[in-house]
Amino acid sequence: MPREIVLGNGLALAAFDSSMALRELYFPYVGQVNHSLGRASHLGIDWEGCVRWFGDDETWRIDSELSRDGREARAHLSHPKLPFSLDMQITWAAEKRVLRRRLRFHWKPGSNTKLRGRLLVHHDLALGEGDLSNEVRAYPREKVIVHRKREYLVQIEGLDPAGRGFSDWTLGRRDDFEGQGVRAAAAKTEGQLGRNPCAVGAGESLMAWELVPETNAPQTFDIYLTASADGTRPAGKAAASAFEPREDEAAAFVFATRDDCELPQALLQIESQSIGQLLAHTDRGGAMIAAADTWNLDLSFESYAYCWPRDGAFIARALDESGHREVASSFFGFAQRIVEREGCFRQRYHPDGHLGSSWHAEPKDDETHLPIQSDEAALVLWAFCRRERGRSESEQSEFAERLERLATPLAEFLCRYRCETTKLPLPSYDLWEERFGVHTFSVAATAAALRAASALPVDAAHKERWGSAAAEIEDNLPRYLFHRELGRYARRAEVTPEGYHLDMTADSSLAGLFLFNAVAAQDEKVTATMQYCERVLEIPGPVGGWARYEGDRYERQDSDDVDLAGNPWVLTSLWMCEWRIARARTLVELDRAQEILSWVVKRARPSGALAEQFDPRTAEPRSVMPLSWSHAALVSAVCHYRRRRGELG
């Protein structure tokens, strides 16, 4: 089930599916460690003996939205057979690992005040990313349930409208009730739940609060989840006290109501929610994870909860462009800590800075390349150089340190890691992490990064060396990667004993030619290349969008139309939008870019979440959702659209 809502506060992250079930719980870092592994922790109602879990049938209506700050979400839930509707507010405390779910029940006119029911709160956790050695224990006097494993602890508690804790509970294992788990206790036991005091292994908890209409006045319940990475339990009313009234709380969901470019309100809202997604996926230490969704655990027991320097560079740039300079700056602090001694990056990193798993092969005895994507070093340097220097004393000091310990090593590496003959970057893996060679995207990014670095406040020798390297790459890019007979750029060159063998597959990454200003968007070679890609990669029919590259099989199914280039991606479709923005010379031409922005709005979930890619027939999300890179691409595209529209009049 798609992850509809992702919330983070820099210290922890929680993800909820479309039924508002908690699916992912990460701490002590955003993206590390996952204490839920995609298992659903549900909320439900036991009304007059009939148990309904939120979203368990199609008659539930659930609408949700994410705030701009990424810490808060709201949802409205209703069911035709229940005498009330619910407003849910989910919020992380500002400086603590405390999550509050506030449920406000609104009784429908004419509700029978003599009927009774219960609010059910279920948790299925896998602390430390596994069931081994887990314990769940009830503390009836304190009215709390504690899930515990080594240093990891999650405490669940709550308050009804009268300030009372839970009225009933039980604990058990996931294989209880013939494999249905502890949730089945709500339906299979009459009256009191089992009140089992503790359970070990794959333990689950179930708590209940009395729900009585009384005078039909709204009733509010607060459910708190407190996470600890040192094994200590919060004392007293620590959870409730973490939510002191915020001045900006009422304004959190006020989205932009005006725009100089007269963009549709739906697009402005998704842009705002996209900023919230990027902030939610950012750890306080600066790591920006690709996705919290664990959709592919069943396939490979891997996830997207890593920081790719490539993704982080695009995310930091989008946040910088949208005014979140401080958060963007934290990424470069993270990059400074993880840069390798050679002056480059490996494929991906855990949010705590440790090297992540990789499928890039180490070089053989007769090879000299590194198992890297050279574009990652280039993109981080490019994004860093695009930032304006800070004016405050602290920002100046920070800039100077990162110039010395991040930008300079990256620029020096990119200068060195080149072929002596062609002056282009040495072979590496492509940005899609699939092929090895000399890639046009990586070459363009390297040229742009070195050109930008040569404008930094460094000594004359560095300026000269970096500027000369950029000029050599720019001069040799068309010489070695442009196919004169076909009249367009190759996506990559494979190095052979006879020289470069050009791969002419249509690939959206060729947008890097103009995205980084390595070649002007008006250049006829770029125009021919992008027009070819736009035509070949477009998905025909009602779903629309553009594929990554011709013949892309990632997340494709055997039943998919083999004539389609691949699945439509948000990122690659927005690169086509960027192409139209860069090429527009009139407002009419610019309107063609807004067509793609409207396509993105149509593909977004009601909460504003954007997937990595979609089914080319049904438009259902495929792969992870939300994907940070998709949201970063939208924020940047809207920013560039505004700028271009202003230039045109």
* Sequence-ordered list of residues with C-beta below 8 angstroms from that of 593, at least 6 positions apart, any chain: 577, 578, 580, 581, 584, 637, 641, 644
244 pLDDT band, cuts 50/70/90, is confident
Which of 236, 225, 239, 100 has its CA nearest to residue 152?
Answer: 225
262 pLDDT band, cuts 50/70/90, is confident
Cα-based angle 96, 99, 105 (whole degrees, multiple of 5): 145
pLDDT at 259: 56
**Tally of CB atoms within 10 A around 425:** 22
Distance between CA 15 and CA 370 in Å, rounded?
A: 36
pLDDT at 208: 95
Distance between CA 603 and CA 342 in Å, rounded?
A: 41
**Residue 290: is its pLDDT beyond 70?**
yes
Mean pLDDT over 282-310 rounds to 89
Pairing of strands 50-53, 135-139: unpaired
SS3 content of the chain, % helix, strand, coil (to 5): 35, 25, 45
pLDDT at 299: 61
In which residue are the tokens 């979440």 written? 609
pLDDT digits (tens, 9 = 90+) for 401-454: 999 999 999 999 999 999 999 999 999 999 999 999 999 999 999 999 999 999
Mean pLDDT over 521-545 rounds to 96
pLDDT at 253: 45
Long-range contacts of 525-528 (CB under 8 A, 24+ apart): 525/478, 525/482, 525/487, 525/488, 525/489, 526/489, 527/583, 528/487, 528/488
187 pLDDT band, cuts 50/70/90, is confident
* Sequence-ordered list of residues with C-beta below 8 angstroms from that of 128, at least 6 positions apart, any chain: 33, 35, 134, 149, 150, 152
Six token digits for residue 444: 């363009």
Range name among 232-241, 320-329, 408-417, 484-493 with the lowest pLDDT average: 232-241
> For 510-529, b where at least 16 C-beta lie within 10 A, e where not — what string?
bbbbbbbebbebeeebbbeb
pLDDT at 68: 85
Q: What is the mean pLDDT of the chain?
A: 91
Cα-based angle 455, 458, 460 (whole degrees, multiple of 5): 90
Cα-based angle 479, 485, 487 (whole degrees, multiple of 5): 70
**Residue 60: is its pLDDT beyond 60?**
yes
**Residue 565: is its pLDDT beyond 80?**
yes
pLDDT digits (tens, 9 = 90+) for 443-495: 999 999 999 999 999 999 999 999 999 999 999 999 999 999 999 999 999 98
Distance between CA 78 and CA 168 in Å, rounded?
A: 25
Pairing of strands 135-139, 203-211: unpaired
Mean pLDDT over 359-365 rounds to 86
**Residue 559: is its pLDDT beyond 70?**
no
Task: Count helices and strands (H / E) in the chain.
Answer: 17, 26
Six token digits for residue 595: 């067509």
**Residue 191: is its pLDDT beyond 80?**
no
Q: Rounded to two decimals, what is the model's pTM?
A: 0.94
Pairing of strands 117-124, 43-47: antiparallel
pLDDT at 252: 45
What does DSSP assign to residue 389?
P
Helix (H) or strand (E) holding 64: strand 61-66
* Sequence-ordered list of residues with C-beta below 8 angstroms from that of 552, at least 6 positions apart, any chain: 565, 566, 567
**Tally of CB atoms within 10 A around 320:** 22
255 pLDDT band, cuts 50/70/90, is very low
pLDDT at 388: 59
What angle in degrees, to the nearest 10, is found between the helix axes of 524-537 and 570-583?
140
